Amino acid sequence: MVPGARLIVLGKQGAGKGTQCMRLSHRYVVPHISTGDMLRAAVKSRTPLGLQARRYLDAGDLIPDEVVLAMVAARLDQDDTRTRGFVLDGFPRTVAQADGFDELLKPAVIDLVLNLVVPTGLVLERLVSRRVCEDCGAIYSTSAPPKLNWSCDVCGGEVVQREDDTEEAIKNRLDLYDSSTAPLVTRYAALGKLVEVWGVGSPDEVTNSLTAVIDAYQHGGEFFPPTPTQARPPAGRRELRELPLGAGEQS
Ligand code: ADP
């Protein structure tokens, strides 16, 4: 068992980050820190942060860096992340957040950054059909709904379409990803921390690819620098050529 890990998972909205981070968190017994889930919880319980964040979330805009950094700083101050590490989902999302995060983490450093690569056409399809448990954040889709009446299989909560999964907000989030978050891929690659993982396939296939990468760089509780890679569809996955938009795109 890994004594702890500090992982970041990057990837466009709809690349499957949430599901995969939840799985990695269980497998490596590290806290799953999702800034999107934290912000949605704050909105739901109408905290001062939630009241401030709501309009950004509804529009698919990014919350100001200093607000997100303060929220993450408070979370990193808790004992579980100090002892076990974390898997970060949806953070950092801008270069300023990555800079602030480096400072917060000192003297510790990130072990590994996994970039989940999925073609834009597929991401759009997934976002439009995505459904989420309001209570625990478990992710479903119109083609893979919960077993009973849109009640979550995990906790029984109501499974709904996220309010920011509208066409306009989705487009805005994808544009923001390209302008604000994609530069982080270059940043972590330059630091020798980045591994790209092909995110198309069944959730189990993608989890296996991710854990194979993590296990390959982790020995006896230590992480070693990865060899730079670029995610490619596995040989024989010809159906990807038929995707409508941006198929085969590597960002
Ligand atoms: P998705 O699942 O679409 O990738 P998230 O659940 O990660 O989206 O985030 C939902 C919304 O929460 C974002 O559109 C943004 O408004 C806000 N948000 C989440 N994380 C951050 C962050 N690191 N910086 C700024 N805003 C954020």
Structure tokens at 47: 């905290």
Tracing tokens 């544009």 back to the chain, one arrives at 175
Q: Which CATH class is domain 5-118+182-240?
A: alpha beta
What is the whole-number distance in angstroms between the Cα of residue 13 and the centre of ligand 1?
9
Residue 173: CB within 6 Å of ligand 1?
A: yes
CA-to-CA distance for 9 and 113, rounded, in angstroms? 6
Strand ordering across the sheet containing 130-133 = 139-141, 130-133, 159-160
Give the residue ranges of DSSP H helices in 5-119: 17-28, 35-44, 48-59, 65-76, 79-84, 95-105
- Predicted pLDDT of residue 194: 93
Query: pTM for the complete prediction?
Result: 0.85
Residue 237 has pLDDT above 70, yes or no: no
Choosing from 6, 40, 84, 173, the catalytic residue is: 173
Domain ranges of the chain: 5-118+182-240
Confidence at 83, pLDDT banded by 50, 70, 90 = confident
- 248 vs 167, more confident: 167
Closest of 140, 120, 122, 123 to residue 131, by C-alpha: 140
What is the whole-number distance in angstroms between the Cα of residue 60 and the centre of ligand 1?
8
Choosing from 6, 23, 40, 93, the catalytic residue is: 93
CA-to-CA distance for 183 and 177, rounded, in angstroms? 9
The per-residue pLDDT for range 57-67, each reduced to its tens digit, is 988 899 999 99
Residue 39: CB within 6 Å of ligand 1?
A: yes
